[in-house]
Structure 1
Amino acid sequence: MHREVKVLVVGTGFAGLGMAIELKRTGERDFVVLEKAGDLGGTWRDNSYPGCACDVPSHMYSYSFELNPKWSRMFAKQPEIWDYLKRIADKYRLRDHIRFNTKVSGAKWDEGAKVWHVKTEGGDTYTAKAVVAGVGALHIPNIPNLPGIDEFEGKAFHSAQWDHDYDLKGKKVAVVGTGASAIQFVPQIADDVEKLTLFQRTPPWILPKTDRSINTWEQKLFRAVPATQRLYRNFVYWMRESNVLGFAVNPKIMEFAQKIAKRHMHSQVRDPRLRAKLTPDYTMGCKRVLISNDYYPALQKRAVTLNTDGIAEVKAHSIVDKAGVEHEVDAIIYGTGFHVVDSFDYLDIQGKGGKDLAKSWKQKGIETYYGITVSGFPNLFFLLGPNTGLGHNSVIFMIESQIRYVRQCLNLLDRHRADELDVRPDVQARFNRQLHKKLTKGVWTQGGCTSWYLDAQGINRSVWPGATWRYWMRTKNVKAEDFTLTRARKARVDA
C-alpha cells in the first residue's frame, strides 16, 4: 500500500497524540499517525510492571487543554495514565488517523519533489510533506550484555517488557539495576519471592514521595469549578519550576535537597552499613532524582539482599558476583532503564544530499535547533528531541511548546507557498554554542557522576539546561529568518 499525506506523525504517546490533536484543532485533516504496536500509549502502554507510576504530580502530567479532574492519586499509576491517553484519543477521534502495527523503518528526503518518502517494516510506503517524530527517547530498553547470559536457563526480561504470565511467587529473583523502575517494582514483588538479590552499581538519591489519594470532594470541586484545578496546576508548576535553580543555576543549592534525602534514608534504614551502601557519592541531580516511601523498607525485608559487588558472570541457574559468591537464580529482571542518547543510532533517515542523520550525530555529536529541527533535514520535526528532557518538571509542558512550534512551521510553509523549510546552519550552530555553555554550569556535568544524560564524550544531550518557561517563551513564535524556505523545482517552473 502507498499513501500520500501532508503530515506523517510517528508514535502515539503524549507527544504523537498531542501533535495529532493540534493538527485537528487547527483544521488539518490530511495526516496519518503510525504506531508500531497494536494499541496507543507509548511509554504508558509498554511499562506495565508492578507499581509503575509517574514521578510527576498527576495534575501537571496532563495536557493543559485537557485537565483531568478525576485523578485518583497525587502521583497517578500507569493504568490511570494509559486510560487518560485512550480517553483523549477517543474524544478527538484520533483512531481514525492511526495505523497500528506499523513500524517505520526509514525515511528519505526527495530533493526534487521536496517530500519525504517513508517506508515501514510491513512494506507500506508513504509520501509526506512533513514528518513529525513523536517517539521520545524512553522506548528502547537497555539490556546489559552480562557475561554468560546466553547460558542462563531461567527467565529473563526487562521491566518495560514485563512477563505477566511468569509467576514470581516462591522464585529466587535477581534484579539488575536500581533505576526509576526498580525502586517501584522491587517493593511490589519483595513479599512474593523466596529470595530477591538486588545488584546495585550506583545508588540513587531518593526523596520522600508526597503521595496520597485525592478526596472525592476535591474531584467534585475540580469538575464543578475547573478554574480551581487550573490554579492548583499552576501552583504545582511553579513549585517544581523553582527546582531549576539547583539543577541549572547553582548546583550547591542541591545540598539542601540532599539533606532531606539523607534524613529520609536515616528515618527508614537503621543499619549503618546498609545506609553506607545506599548513600550516593555524587551531587543530587546529575543523575535522575527518584521518589519513594517503600523502597528502603523493602530492602530490609528478610528475603531481600542488596549486592554492591557487581556481576562477574551468569551461569545456567545462578549469578556469580565479583567477590566470587554464587547466587542461585530462577529469574533475572532488568531495571536498567533505556537507551537514551544512543536511541538515535537506529534511525535510518537520509536528508539533503543523502546525509545520514544517525551517522552524522554519531560522528559530530547530536545537534538540533531547540530539539525540534535539524539543519539539512527539511520538514522533519522531533518532539521531545535532544536536550528537551527535564529533571525538575513535567515534559508534557515541553511537548505542548513543541507541537505549537511545529504547527507554526507548517503554517509558515503554507503562508510562503513553500515546499521546504530548513533551519539555517549558522542559526543551529549559534543555538548549540549557547546551549552547551549553559550545560557546563549545571549539575549534570559538575555533579561528579555519569548518567544516561551524557553521551560518550560526557556531553549532556538529553536535558534542557534551564527553566521550562524560558523554553516556552523562546519557542512561542517561529522566526522565519531562522529558516530557508524553498519551493520545489516544478513549482518554480510553473511560477
Structure 2
Amino acid sequence: MTQRTRTSPTQVAPTQRPPDHHVVIIGAGLSGIGTAIELQRNGIHDIVLLERASDIGGTWRDNTYPGVGVDIPAHAYQFSYEMNPEWSRVFAKGHEVKTYIDHLADHYGLRASIRLNRDVTNRQWDEAAHLWRLTVSGREITARYVISAVGCFPEPKPPTIEGLDEFTGPILRSASWDHSIPLDGKRVAVVGTGASAVQLVPEIAPLVAHLDVYQRTPIWIAPKLDFPVPELVKTLFRRIPMTERATWTLSTEAVEAFLIGFGLSQARTKHVLRPGSRLMRDIWYRLQVADDRTRRALTPTYDFGCKRPAVSNTYLSTFNRGNVDLVTDPIERVSATGIVTTDGVHRPADVLVLATGFRTATDPEVYRRTPLRGRDGFDLADYFANNRARSYEGIAIPGLPNYFMVFGPYGWVGGTWHQLVETASTHIARVLTEAQQRGATAVEVREHAADTWTRWAADRMTHSVWAPGSCQTANSYYFDQFGENTFLRPATARHARTSAHTFALDDYQFECTKAPSKSSRPKDGCAPAISAASTTPATAT
C-alpha cells in the first residue's frame, strides 16, 4: 500500500473559535438520515445535514422515471429499528420509499437539523484548528467532524456520446425524469440496459410508436416474485411486530445470498453460480424471449454475480413486441434526428432516454468537482487517480482526520443499503463517542490499520467470483479504474456488523487539546500518539 509522507503526530491545541457544528453530514438521503439517527441514539445531537437539493430523499427523490421501485423485497429495504408494515407490494414503488424516508425524518425529529439547497463544493482540513472548513453554497461552514453520506453513486455519469448537443428532440435522463414530455406515439431510443432501464423499458414500450434499446453489455435478469401484500398480512405486522422482524431477517439473508453471498468463494461459484447461470439461460430466458438471435444477445457471457443482477417479469418479454428492437452495435454518434451506429445505420428517434449510469464513490472526477483535501496535502482526487483504493472497514481513509464515509472503498455490506448504513453509523458513533471520552479534537485511522484491513479485503476477493479474469466481459461498476472490485466488502453482513461493534479503537490515533497526564487512563484522555498495532480482521463468515 502507498504510504503518505506526514508529520509526526503531536498533542496540539486547536486555535480560533469552536466550529459552527460538531458534526456535519453531507447528504439527506437514507445514508444521512440513518447516520443522524444513530448518532442521536448515542447522545450526539449537535448535527446538521447539508442537502444540495430542495428536498430530502436522495435516490428516491431524484428517480421518478416510469416503473421506478425497489429491486429487492421492500420488507428487507428498511432499517431494522424502524419497520414499515404498510408496504403495498413485495417490491414497493419509489413513491412509497420516499414516504418512508419522510417518515424517518419526522419521527426522529431531524427536520430542524436539515439544511436544504446547500451544495458542498469544497472540503479543507484545518490542522491548526482541528476542524473542517466547508464551502457551502458560496459561504464557509466549519465542523469538527464531517460524514459523507452521498451514497455509492454520488452523481450521474456524463454520457460520452458524440453529437448529443446536436439532437433536436427532448433528452430524458433516468435520474431526473421530465414527466411533462409525452412519449405516446413517439419513436424513442433508450441508451443503457442497467437497473433503471430494466424498470422503465417495459413501462414505456406500450406507449411509444417504436422503441430502440441500445445495449452495450447484457445483464442477468431473474424472475421477480412480486405481488400485492394482503391486508391480513399488514394487520399481522401491525399487531405482532415480531412477525415483520422475522420477515425482515429472512428477506435480508435471502437478498444477500442472491446478490453477493454465492460469489464469495470460487467453490460456490463452480457448484452453484454456473449451473444457476445455465438454468437461467436455458429455461428462463428461453421462456421469456421468442427470437433466438435476440435471446442470445440478451444473455450475458459472464457468470451470474459479476455484475449486479436485476429482477423483472416483463423486461425480457418486451423484446417480443413488434415495436421494440434491441440494438447491440456500438453507437458512433447522435444526429439531429436519431442515432448512428458503427455499422453506418441511422435509426430515427423523436426522444432520447439516457440510462447511462453513475460515477462511483472511488471515481477521481467526483472529487475534482468537489475537492476533498486533508492532512499534509492529502488530496482524495489525486489519491484515487494514482493509487489503489484502500480504507479501514470501508469507512475511514488515512490522511482524512475527523472524516468518515458511510460508503468508502470495499464498503458495500450485505444485500441492502440499510444494512450498510446501520453498520457504518455504528462504527462512526463508536469513534466519535470514544473521542469525546478522551477529550480528543482530532482522530485519524492509522496507516497500518488501513493497510492491514485492505490487504485482508483484497485477499478475500481473489477467492471470489470477482477475481481477476472471472468477470472480464461484465463491464461492471463493481470494478474501479484499476480493474479491482473495491465496491463490495467480501464478507457477510453479520461479519461486518460484528466488526462495527468490536474493531480495535486503537486502530485510530486520537489527538487532544492537551497531553494527558501519565496517570490518566486512555479513556480519560487521549491515548499517546505513538504507533499501535491494529488487530487482524476477524475470520469472515
TM-score (norm 2): 0.87
1:195-254 per-position Cα deviation (integer Å, ceiling 9, x unaligned): 111111111111000111100000000000001111111122233344444211122221
1:118 aligned partner, one-letter code: L
Which one is further off, 341-350 or 36-45?
341-350
How far has the Cα of 1:149 moved from its partner? 1.8
One-letter amino acid of the structure 2 residue matched with residue 308 of structure 1: T
8 Å CA contact 2:155, 2:359 repeated in 1: yes
1:254 matched to 2:261? The reply is no
- 1:376 paired to 2:381: no
Counterpart secondary structure, 1:204: coil
Matching residue of 1:172? 187
Deviations 1:434-488 (A, max 9, x none): 1111112222232333311112221112111121111111122342210111114
Alignment CA distance shift 1:361-1:260 (3 Å): same
- 1:54 aligned partner: 70
1:490: Cα distance to partner?
A: 10
Residue among 439, 453, 458 paired with 1:417: 439
User: Does structure 1 conserve the Cα–Cα contact (< 8 Å) formed by 2:26 and 2:150?
Assistant: yes
Contact 1:284–1:447 (CA under 8 A) maintained in structure 2:
no
State the shift of 1:386 in Å: 2.0
Q: Is the 8 A contact 2:362 2:409 kept in 1?
A: no
Match of 1:327 in 2: 347
Structure 2, gaps ≥5 residues long: 1-17, 518-525, 527-541
TM-fit CA distance, 1:344:
4.8
SS of 1:297 mapped into structure 2: helix
Paired residues of 1:110 and 1:116 also in contact (CA < 8 A): yes
Alignment partner, residue 31 of structure 1: 47
Aligned to 2:454: 432
Counterpart contact for 2:26–2:147, Cα < 8 Å: yes
Residue of 443, 448, 466 corresponding to 1:444: 466
Alignment deviations for residues 258-291 of structure 1 (CA, whole Å, 9 cap, x no partner): 1342221111112111111111111111111111
**SS of residue matched to 1:202:** coil
Identify the match of residue 157 of structure 1 among 153, 172, 182: 172
Give yes or no for contact 2:362–2:389 (8 Å, CA) kept in 1.
no
- Structure 2 match to 1:473: 498
Q: Secondary structure at the match of 2:510?
A: strand
2:85 equivalent to 1:69: yes
Given that 1:265 and 1:296 are in contact with CA atoms closer than 8 Å, whether structure 2 keeps it comes out as yes
SS in structure 2 at match of 1:90: helix
Going from structure 1 to structure 2, the CA distance change for 1:139 and 1:49 (only over 3 Å counts) comes to farther
Query: CA offsets per residue over residues 82-112 of structure 1, 9 Å max, x none?
Result: 0000011111121100000001011111112
**Among 229, 232, 251, the residue aligned to 2:244:** 229
SS at match of 1:476: helix
2:182 partner letter: D
SS of residue in 2 equivalent to 1:319: strand
Question: What is the match of residue 6 of structure 2?
Answer: none
Q: Which residue of 1 aligns with 2:296?
A: 276
Cα deviation 1:141-163 (Å, max 9, x = unaligned): 12322122221111113210111
Inter-CA distance 288–241: structure 2 relative to 1 (3 Å threshold) = closer
2:533 match: none
Helix, strand or coil at the partner of 1:59: coil
1:191 CA drift (Å): 1.0
1:42 equivalenced with 2:58 (yes/no)? yes
Q: CA deviation at 1:402?
A: 0.7
Map residues 119-138 of structure 1 onto 2, 5 A cutoff. Answer: 119-120=135-136, 122-138=137-153
Q: Percent identity?
A: 35
Pick aligned residue for 1:207 from 222, 231, 244: 222
Task: Pick one of 110, 117, 120 that aligns with 2:133.
Answer: 117
Q: Does 1:291 align with 2:311?
A: yes
SS of structure 1 residue aligned to 2:132: strand
Residue 361 (structure 1) aligned to one of 368, 372, 384: 384
CA distance in 1, matches of 2:232, 2:62: 33
- Specify every segment of 5 or more residues in structure 1 that has no aligned partner in the other structure, as ranges: none
What's the secondary structure of 1:79's corresponding residue? helix
On the 8 A contact 1:388/1:463 being kept in 2, the answer is yes
Whether the 8 Å CA contact 1:141–1:158 is kept in 2: the answer is no
What is the distance in 1 between the residues matched to 2:297 and 2:178?
Answer: 30
RMSD, matched Cα = 1.9
Say whether 1:186 aligns with 2:191: no
The alignment status of 1:351 with 2:371, answered yes or no, reads no
- Give the 3-state SS of the residue equivalent to 2:20 in structure 1: strand
- Bigger mean CA offset, 339-348 vs 368-377: 339-348
- Count of matched residue positions in the alignment of Structure 1 and Structure 2: 491
**Residue in 1 that maps onto 2:213:** 198
Once the two structures are TM-superposed, the CA of residue 3 in structure 1 deviates from its matched residue by 6.9
Which residue does the alignment assign to 1:396? Answer: 418
After superposition, the Cα gap between the structure-2 partners of 1:8 and 1:491, relative to the gap in structure 1 and judged at 3 Å, is: farther
CA offset digits 1:405-446 (Å, max 9, x no partner): 111110010111111111110111111111111112222232
Query: Take 1:164 and 1:70, find their aligned partners in 2: how far apart are those partners?
Result: 27
Q: CA deviation at 1:489?
A: 6.4
Deviates more, 1:206-215 or 1:476-485: 476-485
Q: In structure 2, do the counterparts of structure 1 residues 141 and 119 end up closer, same or farther at CA, with 3 Å as the change threshold?
A: same
